[in-house]
Amino acid sequence: MLKFTCLCGQVRVEVAKRPDFINECNCTLCRKSGARWAYLHPSEVNIEGATGGYSRTDKDDPAAEIHFCGRCGSTTHFTLTKSAKAKFGDVQTGVNMALADERDLAGIELRYPDGLAWSGGSDFGYVRAPRVIGQSQASQ
């Protein structure tokens, strides 16, 4: 189990297992929210504390609502919107692993999807090769 908080400690996050990988996406939303996402089933995530929410207004049907601490502003997680849940079910929560101590993430692959160029229809392209957290760049 991994446990971490927002900057001020008001929002506490627990995930039941280490993720297989983490995405550091370059899309506008991910860059501006400062997130490195792990994708987990909602049953594997516990969030305590009050958060605010935001869904993109530049998309006709946004799939995610970003949550953040109302006191310090740290992005904590995302949930699927009602529309996305109706289409896919409540199958995914994103957790901002940038809040975790990087030592706790050692050995997890960090991927760099090209969300900026993603059409939304198929798999991501990538802007650079993945790395494994905790390993030097030279050894990868």
Per domain, the residue ranges of the chain are 2-129
Query: Can you say whether residue 107 is alpha, beta or left, with left for phi > 0 and alpha for psi between -120 and 50 degrees?
Result: left
Amino acid 128: pLDDT? 76
* pLDDT above 60: residue 140: no
Average pLDDT value for residue range 80-108: 94
Amino acid 118: pLDDT? 67
Amino acid 138: pLDDT? 54
* pLDDT > 90 in the chain, percent: 68
Q: Into which CATH architecture does domain 2-129 fall?
A: Beta Complex (2.170)
Average pLDDT value for residue range 35-44: 96
Amino acid 62: pLDDT? 86
Average pLDDT value for residue range 66-92: 95
* pLDDT above 90: residue 43: yes
User: Does 82 or 115 have the greater pLDDT score?
Assistant: 82
User: Does 61 or 72 have the greater pLDDT score?
Assistant: 72
Amino acid 96: pLDDT? 98
Task: Determine whether 14 is exposed, middle or buried from the number of CB atoms within 10 Å of its CB (0-12, 13-18, 19+).
Answer: middle
- Do 80 and 94 touch, CB atoms closer than 8 A? no
